[in-house]
Chain A
């Protein structure tokens, strides 16, 4: 299986006032195509920082990340943005829908960014898949938390990404809704062959993935699978 994400000797230090705060320390792992992968660990262990770095949302001076065959740190900010648009999908804990755009408009933004012609039709198809075809014209404030996360899922899969990063995708949802979203996430992952990288506290969710790592104080404490 070829690797869609390769992380090698990654470290990240933040400067906070006079002190240096070492958030990640020599982290290395790989994720294969279509594979599901979980990053677990307690609060402050560096999970979200690692996810942000893997998706090219931030940079660091130590270590390397290869995403879809590209060395992320050799690209500038706009280059990384283009890479995300073509290969990466996102699901956030707090959904992060654009509040001024309707559900459909939110879903088709990645398609429109790629210049896809029939974006609206594809968007409706995706909303239909997540069971929200009747909510196309609703604004995020008019949708429930579960509905918002389903719109976010539709958006994440809109550009048929090679890899999808999910940050606590069920963290803001009740159990029943959370399970539905998890199912949908894995279903789409299987259907489209998308690699899945999930940051979570939820060990049950982590068990459903092919592989997982446990972080503690910025270091990999345990690798499973």
Chain B
């Protein structure tokens, strides 16, 4: 027998003919794909653009092609290396210090940068007036523009840095090398290099950076230079940074945030796919008669399947394309939302890659998720055209497994592509599966229990609406899934943000410090202490600090370890000048993981010390290992007696290395002191007094830092919430799709009920109860899963106790329930508007 001669073009034609008549139903599916793709494309393209912009502006970010830096004055060997590189083109000394503004008695912790030479060679010092960028080199200071605004300063006012007073030459808008996040805590001041010495601020304990900037020839290979020179500099406790490595470092910082947002966007897309799957199920159900007729007329199983497959593929392409365009528009918002958290200005461009990403995502996701419901077309018997036939064949188990595995594999591969980490992708997909499974199980359990323990004694309206929840083609599963996931996302993000803020604020209780005074010289301790007490505030802690470097690790000299290319000891351990304290007890942010805490000792040999777990990991040491330190020229041998876990996120002085009492008391040291001020005015007065008397002492106002942290988290939270709300938008689209798809059935049911005497208000009440129950069940499960998820996050990641905030329960839960209720009822009003006769007549036709 001849095969029928139809080709691909006929399938396309049929898909188009059928699709154009059903476009109202298909449009909502396209809409959910569009929103999901828009979320992914916008975040992904923006992350890429940010990386590209950082790379293309890397020289301007560093101000030079490369620099050599050290936290101590460079030695002759480093000088020799720099000479061999043609000599530095500019140099800089920078440190944090309190600045005083005598004109208005203001004080502020600033990042003082003394620069010399033509720095910056790339990018520019943006100042007001413009001429100030040059003029300040003749003996003025450029002060961060925001600080000038905050402290009401004008060009020409004075700034006092230690023993030096300089006129303010201009407002500093941007300067290469100062990051905006750090700049919010200690904003930059640029002064000519020659004034640094006379400030008198370069003292014991001061954290000072020495930087040497270089301009290179176009032809010079930065990677090669880094590879060749950096190891030699390492041995001399100096470091080489090229503009390329700086771009990589900055890129990494934003990468994680980008990855997180990408996942949030991806979840929105997955949610859209759940909508596609459920909508397609209802759509295929409606098409069963048509499929049966087509088969009667001679269409094969493959042909009738492909007609709907092509529709889905086209929907995916259209959704992907629209999503890409909306994603492009959305990207324009990110720089506005993130503001000065971004290190560079990002030019938003339309990239081919994002078009490809949007199209392929739209196509792949919609096709993958529609495959399972589409399989039903294969099993439609042509006999359905003659009479109602009970389905005898179910979908092939093998095909179902293949489709299921295909979906999981695709979701995993895409997550892996986003995250670049196998284990994290596995956790993500696993976590998502668990949430999907729990929500599915709850929806099914709810339906089963409702069926089993059906309240037969309830009134007609309540009974009818509850029956709608488990009747054939009900929407319970799809709505609980989409509402549940949307609510879960938003609530989890809310809880996480809350947890981060609460954790940072944990020490801001009645008896804890809210001001830290640093770099107090030994001879200043009593004076500072007296000043604090005289202002009526307590001295909470006096923390002595001794600086030292690691000399040997497990009896191997750091020089040998540096030369050993197989060594896994971190460079930070070998090069860093550690600030170490001594005390006889643990503090609130610490707990012992291994070994025993030793309070005090008498002997100076093999001193039992405590190291943080991070230090132990990087130094590859454990209990009983020996470490010797160079304490400003004197070698001191120690043994690791305990390993502590330190909560670095707490706003208080924490230490990698802690000595017991009785050893370091006589070593050259400086101090940190903490106090608690009660009001802003008192705090400002104390700061002014301290800066006047002890100009080298730096003051960290924790209250201010906390509010800055809140501001930063607020901005990040805004973006995260924005993306999370996308999930809700998608959820709404899915919800509308589900409502629209089943409207036909509801219209018929409504008409029959009205024919039998039901009033419009009764029918509307039935619908209202149904959606209110669905909305509440989905949203409640979402919040509940968020509590579980956040508890896990609190336990595993933040290591803190989790007390859920009431906001998701009292605001998010009722709002989402109300939204579902309102959408459900609003979309169903037309059911009671049509006359029963017109509906039934249409039905008959």
Contact = CB atoms under 8 A, between A and B. Distances in A.
B82 to A, nearest CB: 78
A155 B289 CA distance: 17
Nearest to B295: A81
B4 A114 contact: yes
A90 B5 contact: no
Contacts of B17: 100-102, 105
A55 B299 CA distance: 14
A223 B159 CA distance: 118
A85 B21 contact: no
Contacts of A58: 381, 383
Nearest to B296: A90
A115 B296 contact: no
A83 interface: yes
A145 interface: yes
B423 interface: no
Interface string B293-316: 111111111110000000000000
A113 B296 CA distance: 12
Interface in B256-315: 289-290, 293-303
A115 B297 contact: no
Contacts of A173: none
A218 B211 CA distance: 100
A126 interface: no
B563 to A, nearest CB: 74
B3 A55 contact: no
A98 B295 CA distance: 12
A98 B304 CA distance: 13
Interface stretch (B6-14, B92-100, B396-404): B6-14
Contact of B298 (A82, A96, A102): A82
Contact of A81 (B10, B300, B385, B386): B300
A19 B669 CA distance: 96
Contacts of B296: 55, 57, 84, 90, 96
A109 interface: yes
Nearest to B10: A112
A110 B298 contact: yes
Contact of B1 (A52, A82, A110): A82
A209 interface: no
Nearest to B19: A100
A100 to B, nearest CB: 3
B22 interface: yes
Interface residues of A, number: 41
B297 A90 contact: yes
B831 to A, nearest CB: 19
Given A48-B387, A96-B289, A100-B21, A82 B300 contact: yes
Given A57-B385, A100-B17, A100-B22, A141 B6 contact: no
Interface in B1-51: 1-7, 10, 13-14, 17-18, 20-22
A79 interface: yes
A78 B300 contact: yes
Given A57-B383, A86-B1, A99-B290, A81 B299 contact: yes
Contact of A52 (B2, B300, B383): B383
B327 interface: no
A84 B5 CA distance: 14
Contact of B21 (A79, A88, A99, A155): A99
Contacts of A97: 293
Nearest to A158: B297
A85 B299 CA distance: 7
B385 A90 contact: yes
B297 A85 contact: yes
Given A52-B386, A101-B21, A79 B293 contact: no
Contacts of A90: 296-297, 385
A109 B297 CA distance: 8
Which one of A78, A85, A159 has the greatest number of beta carbons of chain B within 10 Å?
A: A85
B842 interface: yes
Contact of B386 (A57, A85, A86, A115): A57
A51 interface: yes
A77 interface: yes
Contacts of A145: 845
A110 B293 CA distance: 11
Given A85-B4, A115-B7, A92 B385 contact: yes
A115 B385 CA distance: 23
A70 interface: yes
Contacts of A98: 18, 290, 293-294
B18 A112 contact: no
A186 interface: no
Contact of B382 (A57, A105, A112): A57
B470 to A, nearest CB: 21
A167 interface: yes
A105 B385 CA distance: 18
Contacts of A66: none
B845 to A, nearest CB: 7
Contacts of A73: none
A102 to B, nearest CB: 8
A141 B13 contact: no
Interface string A134-168: 00000111000100100000010001000000010
A113 B300 CA distance: 10
Among B10, B293, B297, the one with the most A-chain Cβ atoms within 10 Å of its Cβ is B297
B298 A113 contact: yes
A97 B21 CA distance: 14
Interface string A61-87: 000000000100000011101111110
Contact of B301 (A78, A110, A159): A78
Given A57-B383, A84-B297, A99-B290, A113 B10 contact: yes
Contact of B4 (A92, A105, A113, A148): A113
A52 B381 CA distance: 11
A112 B381 contact: no
Contacts of B14: 109, 112
Interface string A27-62: 000000000000000000000100110010110000
Contacts of B387: 48, 52
Contacts of A88: 298
A115 B6 contact: yes
Contacts of B21: 99-101, 139
Contacts of B295: 57, 81
A48 B1 CA distance: 27
Contacts of B302: 78
Contacts of A139: 21
Contacts of A57: 295-296, 381-383, 385-386
A79 B383 CA distance: 16
Contacts of B386: 48, 51-52, 57, 92, 167
Contacts of A48: 386-387
Contacts of A100: 17-18, 20-22, 290
Contacts of A86: 1-2, 4, 298
Contact of A101 (B3, B18, B289, B383): B18
Among B2, B289, B845, chain A packs the most CB atoms within 10 A around the CB of: B845
A7 to B, nearest CB: 17
Nearest to B21: A100
A100 B19 CA distance: 8
B842 A112 contact: no
B7 A113 contact: no
Contact of A85 (B298, B301, B842, B845): B298
A27 B13 CA distance: 42
B6 A112 contact: yes
18 contacts: A57-B386, A58-B383, A70-B1, A78-B300, A78-B302, A83-B1, A85-B4, A86-B1, A86-B4, A96-B296, A98-B293, A100-B290, A102-B17, A110-B298, A113-B299, A113-B303, A155-B297, A159-B298
Which 9 interchain pairs have the tightest Cβ spacing? A85-B298, A115-B5, A100-B21, A78-B300, A57-B382, A57-B383, A100-B18, A84-B298, A96-B293
Given A57-B382, A113-B297, A148-B845, 6 more contacts: A85-B298, A86-B4, A102-B17, A112-B13, A115-B6, A115-B10
